[in-house]
Amino acid sequence: MPKPSSSTISNAKPTGLPKIHAISQQSRFHTETLETAQGEVDLKDVTISIGEKELIVDARLKLKAGVRYALVGRNGTGKSTLLQAVADKLIPGLSKSLGVLLVSQIEDGTQVSESEEETVLQHVVKGDKERMKAMREFEALTRAVESTKPAETQRILSEIRLARRRTELEDAQKIALRTSGARGKRAREDEIKAEERLKEAEEALAEGRADADAAGQVAEMLTDVTTTLELLDASTTEARAAVILTGLGFTQAMIDAPFVSLSGGWRSRCALATSLLVQSDILMLDEPSNFLDLEATLWLEHHLTSEFHDRTLVLTSHDQVFLNNVVEETIILRDKTLRYFEGTPRAFEIDQRKRRKAAIKTQSALDKKKEHVENSIRQGLVAGKSDPKKLKQVKSRQKKLDERWGLETSAKGTRFKLNRDMAGYFLNNRAEVNIEELESKVRITLPNPEKLRTLGELVSFENVGFRYPARSSKEPAKWVLDQVTFTVGQGGRCVFIGANGHGKSTLAKLILGELKPTKGVIQRHPLLKIGYFSQHTVEQLTKDGTNTTALAYFLKYFEERGETAVDSEARACLGTFGLGGKLSSDTPLTALSGGQKVRLAIALIVFRPPSLLLLDEITTHVDAPTIQSLARALRNFTGGIIMVTHDRWFSRVVIEGHSLSSAGAFGDDQEDDESDVSASEDEDEEGAGGPLGVTYYVGKGTIKKMEGGMGEYVKMVERRLERRAKKAAKGG
């Protein structure tokens, strides 16, 4: 089936992109992706680096056809680079016919259309480049076949060849731009050959060269293009695109509106819609839920699990519930290598803890047994002075300790038969117990604010309403929010949930005082200090493009606000967020991972602890370990917390008081209680910390208290999606 050879849906421009160097095992005997194995990838000794920094070393890259994978790892370990290397076919051995599509998290929504009148639907449909190309060729070839002028037929044939040569050159240039070394040299040679073929096609068109059988070639091309359109199911493309857009939260008015009228977040949804529409062997989604509300996320979960049976999916996401609900297997990028697990990330974590617990138990038993044998040896040496037979026993037992000590069962559970179960050369006839170290936890500590000297609520809304000024007398202003009433006391907490565009950000600005209510009363504690984290806080850190460090930025930030921040205090604060040492003083902000930038942003907010934290989508772009640590810290924070989030797990932990495991994304309560010998590793599972909060649903211009918390909202959204699906089925 015709599919895109490779494509990246992203707005990043090629100039200035880092060079990705990728190698894999190269010999005539090596296993690689075969032309006949569509969707299969099996490459050995894969090494990927950017400049002098190695991200993956001698790893095996294996993707099975039709399997949905989660790619997990810390921020900065190379997940996005790996996906880019696969999408751009930079790894030797990837089949040229393999259709790979990547939707990158660097999508910023700034892409523009050729026409300002192009609708959202047209833009998404246009994103299916294979279909658009086939449609253009079909129309041209049809004219060529129907033409009675041989010159016209020849001209169309030459123009199609020229267009195909230009596409070949664009692909060759993209690969040459991203590779270096020996691979870069070969890519440049391919680029030169593509340039020569393009030049030849241009000259043939300009000179009007005639083919011996132009009519026959045109007819053959038309047959191939017609087959391509049938395989692409081109006749239903617009209908399928409309269904996808609706699922991602677009109303019919938005679907019919000009694409240029969309904000960056909605343009990113368009990019995701295009990726779901276009046929490919492998679809790679890098943080697809970043710009989605919960309704769109739940729809995407269902779509990926119900519609993707014959496509390989590789998914990264900070939303762990979403990840666990979608994927079947997990790829773990850690210590510059790739590990594979047949199960979800949560199942991997549980399995890892179980195996570690079993290994610790086995080692403990061996240690006790060894101590017993050593005691018997010492006693035998004493008894051997009067009984020579005891010395033979001592010698036998010592030999066992020296040569046959270790695991007594093989990996299959059978009795360990000396060194027959182990390949290679070993000093001991039995394997040692391997106690796998768990990945170190991210440690975030939030300093608690001083208790306010006077009583009173932190924030109080009483029948608050807000609407923006009317654009014209003919178009009266609509209420964005109306009859909003809620209170957050000292140390209290609440979360606002709901679909995007229903007023959550407006609510945050009203709390901050950036907007004034149109009606109603907002009261704030006279000593209230708010620490605000917005959706764009991280982007603000590097907006000027300078290579300043975290420490320099920290000191300058408070200096500009007329506050004093001593160097030692700044270093201490950054250190508590894992940004100490050279990471804060030598590493430029642009080189920090997303999670590290979030930690810096939080450090700026809590350096002088505020009595209220206002957090708007704080988990976006953050890896799982950082989200867990942040949840622990917020759960124990004594100040007030107001959150805006679509993250089900995060809300359940911070607002509703669930433990990290019972919230449904990480580990297992029973295993967490028993699997770690270190009490410090389980201190977060002792129970909920901090007061229980309130969950408010924002919709239809007002807010509603959800007695059942996030769970009630999820059920409400699922019922809504079910009704929509039934309605669509009846309409179809």
The tokens 């009519």 sit on which residue?
215
Please say if the pLDDT value at position 454 is more than 50.
yes
Query: Which tokens is 497 given?
Result: 């949930």
Is the CA virtual torsion 317, 321, 324, 327 positive or negative? Answer: negative
Alpha-carbon distance 74 to 572, whole Å?
A: 23
CATH 3.40.50.300 in the chain is located at 5-9+66-128+239-343, 459-529+608-731
Q: How wide is the angle at C-alpha 341 spanned by C-alphas 291 and 333, nearest 5°?
A: 60
The tokens 């000590």 sit on which residue?
405
DSSP codes of every residue in 347-378: HHHHHHHHHHHHHHHHHHHHHHHHHHHHHHHH
Is the CA virtual torsion 414, 418, 422, 423 positive or negative? Answer: negative
Amino acid at site 138: F
Alpha-carbon distance 647 to 620, whole Å?
A: 9
φ, ψ of residue 159 in degrees (nearest 5): -65, -40
The tokens 């790979």 sit on which residue?
100
Separation in Å, CA 302 to CA 109, 282, 307, 321: 25, 18, 8, 13
Please say if the pLDDT value at position 674 is more than 50.
no
Q: Cite the beta strand spans of 581-722 per DSSP E.
A: 612-616, 640-644, 694-699, 702-705
Alpha-carbon distance 186 to 176, whole Å?
A: 8
- Highest-pLDDT range among 169-178, 201-210, 445-454, 561-570: 445-454
- The conformation of residue 452, written as its DSSP 8-state character, comes to P
Separation in Å, CA 208 to CA 151, 161, 294: 8, 13, 58
Nearest Cα neighbor of 457 from 493, 483, 484 is 493
Please say if the pLDDT value at position 383 is more than 80.
no
Q: Mark out the alpha helices in 495-593 (DSSP H runs).
A: 504-512, 537-541, 550-560, 567-576, 582-585
Segment 247-266, tens digit of pLDDT: 998 989 999 999 888 877 88
Residue 108 has a pLDDT of: 41
Residue 69 has a pLDDT of: 96
Higher pLDDT, 176 or 154: 154
Alpha-carbon distance 53 to 214, whole Å?
A: 53
Residue 424 has a pLDDT of: 57
Helix (H, G, I), strand (E, B) or coil at 432: coil
Type and span of the H or E element at 80? helix 79-87
Segment 294-348, tens digit of pLDDT: 999 999 999 999 888 788 999 999 899 999 999 999 999 999 999 999 999 999 9
Alpha-carbon distance 68 to 84, whole Å?
A: 18
Segment 124-134, tens digit of pLDDT: 888 777 777 77
Q: What is the mean predicted confidence (pLDDT) over 127-153?
A: 81
Segment 630-662, tens digit of pLDDT: 999 999 999 999 999 999 999 999 999 888 887
This prediction has a pTM of 0.80
Segment 371-380, tens digit of pLDDT: 887 788 787 7
Task: Kindly report the CATH number that applies to the domain delimited by 459-529+608-731.
Answer: 3.40.50.300
Task: Kindly report the CATH number that applies to the domain delimited by 5-9+66-128+239-343.
Answer: 3.40.50.300
Q: What is the mean pLDDT of the chain?
A: 81
- In sequence order, the β-bridge partners of residue 475 are 472
- The conformation of residue 668, written as its DSSP 8-state character, comes to -
